[in-house]
Structure 1
Amino acid sequence: LRSQLKGKAYIEVIVTPTCPYCPYAALEVNMFAFASKGKIMADIVEAMENPDIADYYGITVVPAIVINGNVEFIGVPKEKLLLKAVFRYQKDHIELPFHTFRRGLNLS
Protein backbone atom coordinates (compact mmCIF):
# COMPACT_ATOMS: atom_id res chain seq x y z
CA LEU A 1 0.00 0.00 0.00
CA ARG A 2 2.77 2.43 0.93
CA SER A 3 4.51 2.04 -2.43
CA GLN A 4 1.24 2.69 -4.30
CA LEU A 5 0.40 5.91 -2.45
CA LYS A 6 1.98 9.05 -3.85
CA GLY A 7 0.52 11.38 -1.22
CA LYS A 8 -0.96 11.24 2.27
CA ALA A 9 -4.44 10.96 3.70
CA TYR A 10 -6.07 11.74 7.03
CA ILE A 11 -9.07 9.54 7.79
CA GLU A 12 -11.57 10.08 10.58
CA VAL A 13 -14.03 7.35 11.52
CA ILE A 14 -17.03 8.76 13.38
CA VAL A 15 -18.49 6.13 15.73
CA THR A 16 -20.80 5.64 18.70
CA PRO A 17 -20.49 3.04 21.47
CA THR A 18 -23.79 1.35 20.61
CA CYS A 19 -23.15 1.00 16.86
CA PRO A 20 -22.62 -2.68 15.94
CA TYR A 21 -20.77 -1.83 12.70
CA CYS A 22 -18.44 0.86 14.02
CA PRO A 23 -15.72 -1.51 15.27
CA TYR A 24 -15.42 -2.97 11.76
CA ALA A 25 -15.08 0.46 10.16
CA ALA A 26 -12.48 1.48 12.75
CA LEU A 27 -10.51 -1.73 12.27
CA GLU A 28 -10.55 -1.43 8.48
CA VAL A 29 -9.26 2.16 8.55
CA ASN A 30 -6.64 1.37 11.18
CA MET A 31 -5.41 -1.58 9.09
CA PHE A 32 -5.00 0.78 6.12
CA ALA A 33 -3.11 3.26 8.30
CA PHE A 34 -0.82 0.54 9.64
CA ALA A 35 -0.12 -0.89 6.18
CA SER A 36 0.67 2.57 4.79
CA LYS A 37 3.51 3.07 7.30
CA GLY A 38 2.69 6.71 7.96
CA LYS A 39 1.11 7.81 4.69
CA ILE A 40 -2.40 7.36 6.08
CA MET A 41 -3.23 8.80 9.48
CA ALA A 42 -6.37 7.57 11.20
CA ASP A 43 -8.42 8.94 14.06
CA ILE A 44 -11.46 7.31 15.63
CA VAL A 45 -13.90 9.99 16.82
CA GLU A 46 -16.61 9.09 19.30
CA ALA A 47 -19.60 11.20 18.25
CA MET A 48 -21.22 11.36 21.69
CA GLU A 49 -18.03 12.67 23.27
CA ASN A 50 -17.32 14.99 20.33
CA PRO A 51 -20.72 16.14 19.01
CA ASP A 52 -19.12 19.26 17.56
CA ILE A 53 -17.12 17.14 15.11
CA ALA A 54 -20.17 15.15 14.00
CA ASP A 55 -22.05 18.44 13.59
CA TYR A 56 -19.13 19.97 11.67
CA TYR A 57 -19.44 17.24 9.04
CA GLY A 58 -23.24 17.02 9.27
CA ILE A 59 -23.08 13.38 10.34
CA THR A 60 -26.21 11.89 11.88
CA VAL A 61 -25.58 8.21 11.05
CA VAL A 62 -22.56 6.08 12.00
CA PRO A 63 -20.13 4.73 11.15
CA ALA A 64 -19.08 7.59 8.91
CA ILE A 65 -15.69 7.78 7.21
CA VAL A 66 -14.20 11.18 6.44
CA ILE A 67 -11.14 11.37 4.18
CA ASN A 68 -9.19 14.64 4.14
CA GLY A 69 -12.29 16.53 5.27
CA ASN A 70 -14.71 14.86 2.83
CA VAL A 71 -17.51 12.64 4.14
CA GLU A 72 -16.97 9.68 1.84
CA PHE A 73 -18.80 6.73 3.39
CA ILE A 74 -21.70 6.04 5.70
CA GLY A 75 -21.38 2.44 6.80
CA VAL A 76 -18.50 0.03 6.37
CA PRO A 77 -17.11 0.20 2.82
CA LYS A 78 -15.53 -2.70 1.01
CA GLU A 79 -11.74 -2.46 1.19
CA LYS A 80 -11.46 -1.85 -2.56
CA LEU A 81 -13.83 1.14 -2.38
CA LEU A 82 -11.98 2.60 0.61
CA LEU A 83 -8.68 2.23 -1.21
CA LYS A 84 -10.06 3.98 -4.31
CA ALA A 85 -11.30 6.85 -2.16
CA VAL A 86 -7.92 7.18 -0.43
CA PHE A 87 -6.21 7.38 -3.84
CA ARG A 88 -8.74 9.98 -4.99
CA TYR A 89 -8.25 12.23 -1.95
CA GLN A 90 -4.51 11.76 -1.32
CA LYS A 91 -2.46 14.95 -1.15
CA ASP A 92 1.18 15.91 -0.87
CA HIS A 93 0.40 17.96 2.22
CA ILE A 94 -2.45 17.36 4.63
CA GLU A 95 -4.21 20.29 6.23
CA LEU A 96 -5.80 18.93 9.36
CA PRO A 97 -9.20 20.25 10.44
CA PHE A 98 -9.20 22.74 13.29
CA HIS A 99 -10.88 20.31 15.66
CA THR A 100 -7.86 17.98 15.58
CA PHE A 101 -5.72 20.72 17.10
CA ARG A 102 -8.35 21.53 19.70
CA ARG A 103 -8.36 17.92 20.78
CA GLY A 104 -4.59 18.00 21.17
CA LEU A 105 -3.71 15.62 18.35
CA ASN A 106 -0.17 15.84 17.06
CA LEU A 107 -0.04 14.12 13.68
CA SER A 108 2.99 15.78 12.14
Structure 2
Amino acid sequence: MHGQAAYAGVSVKQIIFSGLQIPNGIKALKEKAVAQQYLESASRETLSKDIIASFDQLMLLDEVDKLIVDSEKRLKKNKKRSIKQFNMDWLFLMIVINSNWLCLN
Protein backbone atom coordinates (compact mmCIF):
# COMPACT_ATOMS: atom_id res chain seq x y z
CA MET A 1 0.00 0.00 0.00
CA HIS A 2 1.35 3.20 -0.93
CA GLY A 3 0.37 5.30 1.86
CA GLN A 4 -2.91 5.65 3.26
CA ALA A 5 -4.10 9.02 3.76
CA ALA A 6 -6.75 9.78 6.18
CA TYR A 7 -8.94 12.63 5.36
CA ALA A 8 -10.69 14.35 8.10
CA GLY A 9 -12.66 17.31 6.96
CA VAL A 10 -13.70 20.05 9.22
CA SER A 11 -15.40 22.96 7.62
CA VAL A 12 -15.53 26.18 9.49
CA LYS A 13 -17.27 29.14 7.96
CA GLN A 14 -17.30 32.45 9.61
CA ILE A 15 -18.71 35.60 8.17
CA ILE A 16 -16.00 38.15 8.20
CA PHE A 17 -17.92 40.90 6.40
CA SER A 18 -21.59 40.62 5.59
CA GLY A 19 -21.81 43.71 3.45
CA LEU A 20 -24.23 45.17 6.00
CA GLN A 21 -26.74 42.44 5.21
CA ILE A 22 -27.35 41.56 8.85
CA PRO A 23 -27.95 45.12 10.13
CA ASN A 24 -30.03 45.89 7.05
CA GLY A 25 -31.96 42.66 7.51
CA ILE A 26 -32.72 43.59 11.12
CA LYS A 27 -33.90 47.03 10.03
CA ALA A 28 -35.98 45.43 7.28
CA LEU A 29 -37.67 43.12 9.78
CA LYS A 30 -38.45 46.07 12.05
CA GLU A 31 -39.89 48.04 9.15
CA LYS A 32 -41.88 45.01 8.07
CA ALA A 33 -43.40 44.79 11.56
CA VAL A 34 -44.27 48.50 11.44
CA ALA A 35 -45.81 48.06 7.97
CA GLN A 36 -47.86 45.11 9.19
CA GLN A 37 -49.14 47.24 12.07
CA TYR A 38 -50.15 49.95 9.59
CA LEU A 39 -51.90 47.36 7.44
CA GLU A 40 -53.70 45.99 10.48
CA SER A 41 -54.71 49.50 11.48
CA ALA A 42 -55.84 50.24 7.92
CA SER A 43 -57.84 47.00 7.92
CA ARG A 44 -59.56 48.02 11.14
CA GLU A 45 -60.26 51.47 9.69
CA THR A 46 -61.66 49.95 6.50
CA LEU A 47 -63.77 47.55 8.52
CA SER A 48 -65.04 50.42 10.67
CA LYS A 49 -65.93 52.42 7.57
CA ASP A 50 -67.74 49.42 6.09
CA ILE A 51 -69.73 48.93 9.30
CA ILE A 52 -70.67 52.62 9.43
CA ALA A 53 -71.71 52.53 5.75
CA SER A 54 -73.84 49.44 6.43
CA PHE A 55 -75.58 51.13 9.34
CA ASP A 56 -76.18 54.21 7.18
CA GLN A 57 -77.73 52.03 4.51
CA LEU A 58 -79.94 50.29 7.08
CA MET A 59 -81.10 53.64 8.41
CA LEU A 60 -81.80 54.83 4.87
CA LEU A 61 -83.83 51.69 4.17
CA ASP A 62 -85.80 52.29 7.36
CA GLU A 63 -86.59 55.84 6.22
CA VAL A 64 -87.59 54.55 2.78
CA ASP A 65 -89.98 52.08 4.45
CA LYS A 66 -91.52 54.93 6.45
CA LEU A 67 -91.88 56.98 3.28
CA ILE A 68 -93.60 54.08 1.50
CA VAL A 69 -96.06 53.62 4.37
CA ASP A 70 -96.79 57.35 4.44
CA SER A 71 -97.24 57.42 0.66
CA GLU A 72 -99.67 54.51 0.83
CA LYS A 73 -101.74 56.37 3.45
CA ARG A 74 -101.84 59.51 1.30
CA LEU A 75 -102.73 57.45 -1.76
CA LYS A 76 -105.68 55.87 0.06
CA LYS A 77 -106.90 59.30 1.19
CA ASN A 78 -106.59 60.70 -2.33
CA LYS A 79 -108.40 57.68 -3.74
CA LYS A 80 -111.30 58.19 -1.32
CA ARG A 81 -111.36 61.90 -2.11
CA SER A 82 -111.31 61.22 -5.85
CA ILE A 83 -114.14 58.69 -5.63
CA LYS A 84 -116.16 61.11 -3.52
CA GLN A 85 -115.52 63.94 -6.00
CA PHE A 86 -116.40 61.69 -8.92
CA ASN A 87 -119.68 60.72 -7.24
CA MET A 88 -120.47 64.36 -6.52
CA ASP A 89 -119.69 65.33 -10.12
CA TRP A 90 -121.81 62.48 -11.38
CA LEU A 91 -124.66 63.53 -9.13
CA PHE A 92 -124.35 67.15 -10.27
CA LEU A 93 -124.36 66.03 -13.89
CA MET A 94 -127.51 63.99 -13.31
CA ILE A 95 -129.20 66.96 -11.66
CA VAL A 96 -128.29 69.24 -14.58
CA ILE A 97 -129.49 66.71 -17.12
CA ASN A 98 -132.73 66.16 -15.23
CA SER A 99 -133.35 69.86 -14.82
CA ASN A 100 -132.73 70.46 -18.53
CA TRP A 101 -135.01 67.62 -19.38
CA LEU A 102 -137.69 69.03 -17.10
CA CYS A 103 -137.31 72.45 -18.66
CA LEU A 104 -137.74 71.00 -22.11
CA ASN A 105 -140.92 69.19 -21.19
Larger radius of gyration: 2
Q: Give the TM-score, by structure 2 length.
A: 0.19
Q: Which has the larger share of strand? A: 1
Q: Which has the larger share of helix? A: 2
Bigger RCO (CA 8 Å, 6+ sep): 1
Q: Give the TM-score, by structure 1 length.
A: 0.18
